[in-house]
Amino acid sequence: MSVNDSRVDSKAGFGDADRLIDLWNKPQVRALAYQILVVGGVVLLLAYLAGNVIENREARGIAGGFGFLEREAGFAINDTLIPYSPSDTYGTAFLVGVLNTLRVALLGIVLATVLGTIIGIARLSSNFLVATLSSWYVEVTRNVPLLLQLFIWASVLRTSMPSPRQAFEPLPGVFISNRGVKLPVPEAHPVWDWMLLAAAIGILAAWIFSRWAKKQQDATGKQYPTFWVGLGCIAGLPFLTWLVGGAPTQLDMPELRGFNFRGGLTMTPEFFALLLGLTIYTAGFIAEIVRSGILAVSYGQTEAAASLGLRRGLVLRLVVLPQALRVIIPPTTSQYLNLTKNSSLAVGIGYFDMVNVGNTTMNQTGQAVEAIAMFMAVYLTISLTISLLMNWYNRQIALVER
């Protein structure tokens, strides 16, 4: 090979290197390369962890998969919404825990919203005592750890209530003791299932009518009694179903037998402690959100409404709050999600929510990976559902330019 040929090859080599350097100097190329490296590192780390998990499980003789859900649980749950006994499967026990989580989360969201709205409005009151007490409520509840509040409520409810033999009976068949609240419930009858279906149909009918009435009001200015029609659909249809189904009135009444009550519906002290703690704690945050949302509305809106002769209550309900909701809804959604996830602290006071049931299952079966995966799936589903509903509502109340 001649000297000239070697020079050409050398220049070609330098040319390729220059092109590579120019290519690497492009921000898009470097960004893509870094992302590939990060993803590759994460995949390798996950593969390493998965290998360790599989190796350790095989060394301890722990089988993989979700087959353990069909085995007998062998532990009792003292607060259930569906029939359950220790002879039922782990799957049934986990379902009981999920239902208990949903029950305390949904009730907590409703109660915290009502209480937080009242406290938030009260903080803006011109009455010094009301405003001061509301401010103290917010500062105390938000700055005391939730788990500590749960311990306090659980201790108060367990120690201040009388024994079953000395239980309070504020209403016939209703007993309050340190074992919880016992309530009479209707005896099993097919009509109750049909009433639930009728209630769902009534809610759908009320929603359809309210949308139709709003469109008619926008087009013609005529108002329709949406509240009374909605109430008639939601309450009237189940009542008619009850009448057609024979109007059953038999109740399963709780009775004192030995040292405890039998029959009826039991609401345990642990459930009340968790519900009180979640409600009171979350209401403090919602109160601040409501207060800031009201303050975000121009004071000129209040003055304009007052100049029309509207009372302060009507000004707040018809003018201020509808505009403040656009500021209130997004952060309130986060508080709903926090309340749902904070319900997992029930394990600290002995309430059998999903996490408590899952921990017991893990201790007995060793299926930690599967149980945690189930936790994640359930919480993800609940959180996404709440977010979708709140985002839908936020779009419904948004101002639309026409």
pLDDT digits (tens, 9 = 90+) for 74-99: 888 888 888 888 888 988 999 999 99
pLDDT score at 140: 93
Confidence band, pLDDT 50/70/90 cuts, at residue 217? confident
Within a domain: 171: no
300 phi and psi angles, rounded to 5 deg: -60, -30
pLDDT of residue 48: 82
Same domain, 118 and 15: no
Specify if 340 maps to a domain: yes
Q: Is the same domain home to 37 and 110?
A: no
Does residue 270 share a domain with residue 313? yes
Domain total in the chain: 2
Alpha-carbon distance 236 to 246, whole Å? 16
What pLDDT shows up at residue 61? 66
**Residues 20, 131 within the same domain:** no
Report the Cα–Cα distance between both ends of the chain, in Å, rounded: 80
Is residue 10 assigned to a domain?
Answer: yes
pLDDT in the model for residue 8: 46
| 4 pLDDT above the threshold of 70 | no
Q: How open is the CA angle 67-69-75, to the nearest 5 degrees? A: 140
Q: If you average pLDDT over every residue of the chain, what do you get? A: 84
Q: Does the residue 234 lie in any domain?
A: no
Task: Judge whether 164 lies within some domain.
Answer: no
User: What pLDDT was estimated at residue 39?
Assistant: 92
pLDDT at 262: 79
Residues 289 and 358 in one domain: yes
Same-domain status, 302 and 369:
yes
Q: Are residues 392 and 282 in the same domain?
A: yes
pLDDT surpassing 50 at residue 164: yes
pLDDT at 249: 81
Judged against a pLDDT cut of 80, whether residue 69 lies above it is answered with yes
Residue 9 has pLDDT above 60, yes or no: no
236 falls within a domain = no
pLDDT per residue as tens digits for the range 231-279: 888 888 889 988 888 888 887 778 777 777 777 777 888 898 999 999 9
Question: Which of the residue ranges 49-53, 119-123, 320-324 would you say has the lowest mean pLDDT?
Answer: 49-53
288 lies in some domain: yes
Q: Tens digit of pLDDT for each residue in 350-372?
A: 888 899 888 888 888 878 888 88
Between residues 27 and 118, the one the model is more confident about: 118
| Domain at 96, CATH number | 1.10.3720.10
Together in a domain, 339 and 276: yes
Same domain, 52 and 102: no
pTM passes above 0.85: no
Domain that holds residue 341: 90-138+266-396
pLDDT, tens digit, 9 for 90 and up, residues 97-156: 999 999 999 999 999 999 999 999 899 888 899 999 999 999 999 999 999 999 999 888
Q: Which pLDDT value is given to residue 138?
A: 93
41 and 125 fall within a common domain: no
Task: Give yes or no: residues 306 and 347 share one domain.
Answer: yes
* pLDDT at residue 64, as a whole number: 67
Domain boundary among 39, 60, 81: 60
> Would you state the pLDDT for residue 5?
53
Report if residue 101 sits inside a domain: yes
Residue 119 confidence (pLDDT): 93
Query: Which residue matches tokens 């050398």?
Result: 10
Q: Tell whether 45 and 105 lie within a shared domain.
A: no
